[in-house]
Structure 1
């Protein structure tokens, strides 16, 4: 549920983009898009929460320090580096990211006449690879899809908010039945009526 301060902020945003006497359908569409935004249902927000709540604590326990999306750990004259790299093709509802790994040697950099890095990035490492090279069973990339994530975590309220925002955006298009069918395939039958409830005829 929203906090009242979030509701007021959302409505103030809505007032700014909805002219007085504007089209009611556009008003409702914008309201749903603002609603989806302010409950942090974007895949980017989910990526941030997964990094903060899962990746960061795991690597911290292993001795890594964090800077942006790069984690580093010094050991025996070497530095281990792990970085998360977002795909350039990400959208509001979908994030793909890669896990890059590297090992940096300050001694090797000195021999090569390069500037020694105290906090090397993955691109500074002499040995670099993706995680699946080190862990063959790991996937080539990881994906976060906001709607599926809310369903997987049984957050039916936010799943419904995402469904409604997608309907507001695409419900009037000829391809909506195909989109709708695809979305509903991911919803458990027992929750179908609640998640995919129609708020208005789009």
Structure 2
């Protein structure tokens, strides 16, 4: 094994050490924590551009809430770890890690300190997703204005003001694009299904 691969293994071990303390279980480069109707997942994704002289990886975080899917009429699998996550982000978006990837050579001094600290921040972020309302808040605050499921959840649960706000935010951001009439029609279709008026 090369020196860079040794450093990669050390980085994965550092990440795993943090996640094990928080109740995550590891399978290869994926750590999963299953709660009452909730799944939190963090994985390490090796870069396709790696070579003998360069080893880089990304860290992704995901969350799934069964209650959210039930509200919009989607089937919930018996094994929640097989469900499609409703929220996904890269770890630099929710931590102090300064770049979009970890380079085991460039970041060698940070692998045992700053990297575990960033993973702690990611866990704390996922800890905030405990039910359907907190998932919806996370999606909204993360800018998921075109998320069909989020809009459907607002409509299905009688949150008409939030549905209208999402529609308005989508129109403001994408209203000048050629695709807006098609997007607006999707919003209209969902709103009509649940009897929610749109502005």
- TM-score scaled to structure 1, two decimals? 0.46
CA radius of gyration, larger in: 1
